[in-house]
Amino acid sequence: MRKTTQLKELLNAKEILIMPGAYDALSAKLIEHTGFQATQATGYGIAATILGKPDIGILSMGQMLEQTRNIIQSVNIPVMADGDNGFGNAVNVYHTVQYFEQAGAAGINLEDQVFPKRCGHLNGKQVIPEKEMILKVKAAVEAKKDPDFIINARTDAIAQYGVEEAVKRGNAYAEAGADIIFVDAPESIDQIKYVIDHINAPVSINMTEGGKTPIITVDELEALGAVRVSFPVTTVLSAARAMKETLLHLQEFRRTTDIKEKFMDFHDFTGLLGMEKIREIERKYLPEEILLDKYGLEANRK
C-alpha cells in the first residue's frame, strides 16, 4: 500500500492519529521503533538542528526538502512534510507540493502566514488574506499527482484575528480542497472545542510543550473530535534537555561512569540503525578473504 493511502486511512480511522515530530532520520527511527504509525517532519526541530536557529523562516525549501527526504528514507511509516507557507506565493506552493510528493512524503502542511513565516507559538505572526490562501490551497491540490496525498491546510489566524476568523478560514480552505484543517495555537480548551465543532472538515491540533496551547491528553483531544494531533517539539526538546544534563555532568564531574542509565545501550543503538542488515549484505557480497581481514574468526558469525 502506498504511504499516501496509509496516511489517508489512518486519518479516516476511528482513533485519533498521533504524529510526533521528526527532525532527522534518527528521531524518525525512534518514533517508528516505539510504535507510532506515522510521523510529522517538524520545521521547528529541523531549523534548530540544521541551523541552530529559531523557526523564523530562515530555513530554505531546499534544506527542508533534503532533511525531509532523509527522514522519509529512514522509516517505513508515512511521513507528513512541513511545507511552511509554501516558501512563497501560489506558484511556489505548486512546485513545493510536487517536490515533496516526489521525495516520498505522504502529505504536507501548508500555512497561511506571510513570508517569512515563524513558529506558530511565537509572537509576531501575521497571515495573508484569506483569498490568497484559498488560491494557494487550490494550487496545492492541482499540483499533487496522487489523489491520496494529504493537503493539511493550516491557519494561524487566531493570533491576529481571533478564533472566529480561524474557523471561517478553515471552512474556506476545506472548500478549496484541503483534506484536513490544522488550526494552530488555540489559546484555551474552549477554543480547541470551538474550532473542531465549527469547521466542517477533519481538524488537526498540535501540542507544543511550552507553547500557547494548553497541553491536554490525547484521549481528551480525541473526545473533543480531533482526527490528528502532532507533537512537533516533543522529540527535540526532550533530546536537548537530556544532552544538556549529560554534558553538564561530564563538565562538572569529568566522568560518565555514574550515569550509565542515561544512555541507550550501544549495541541496541547500532541495531536500531540497521547494523545487522549491513552485516548481512557484507556476508552476501564481500569476498571471504576481505571478511576474514575485517572480522577475523567472527567473519561468518550469524
Backbone phi and psi for residue 26, each to the nearest 5 degrees, phi listed first: -65, -45
Q: 185: left (phi > 0), else alpha (psi -120 to 50), else beta? A: left
Residue 27 CB-half CA count within 13 A? 26
What's the pLDDT at 271? 95
Residue 181 β-bridge partners: 153, 203
* Helix H or strand E encompassing 181: strand 180-183
The CATH code of domain 3-239 reads 3.20.20.60
Range in 111-125, 201-215, 244-258 with the lowest mean pLDDT: 111-125
d(CA 102, CA 99): 5
**Mean pLDDT of the 4-18 span:** 97
Residue 256 β-bridge partners: none
pLDDT digits (tens, 9 = 90+) for 267-278: 999 999 999 999
Single-letter residue type at 276: E
What's the pLDDT at 185? 94
pLDDT at 302 over 60: no
d(CA 72, CA 295): 32
**Mean pLDDT of the 182-205 span:** 97
Segments of the chain assigned to CATH 3.20.20.60:
3-239
What's the distance, Cα to Cα, between the start and end of the chain in Å?
32
pLDDT digits (tens, 9 = 90+) for 202-246: 999 999 999 999 999 999 999 999 999 999 999 999 999 999 999
Cell of 144: 499533487
The model's pTM is 0.94
The conformation of residue 286, written as its DSSP 8-state character, comes to: S
Strands 79-82 and 180-183: unpaired
pLDDT interval class at 78 (50, 70, 90): very high
What's the pLDDT at 99? 98
How many CB atoms sit inside 10 A of residue 149's CB? 24
Grid cell 493570533 — which residue?
Answer: 159
| Cα pseudo-dihedral 42, 12, 152, 105, rounded to 10 | 60
Cell of 113: 502566514
SS3 32: helix
Single-letter residue type at 200: N
- Mean pLDDT estimate for the chain: 96
My answer on whether omega of the bond before 147 falls inside 30° of 0, hence cis, is: no
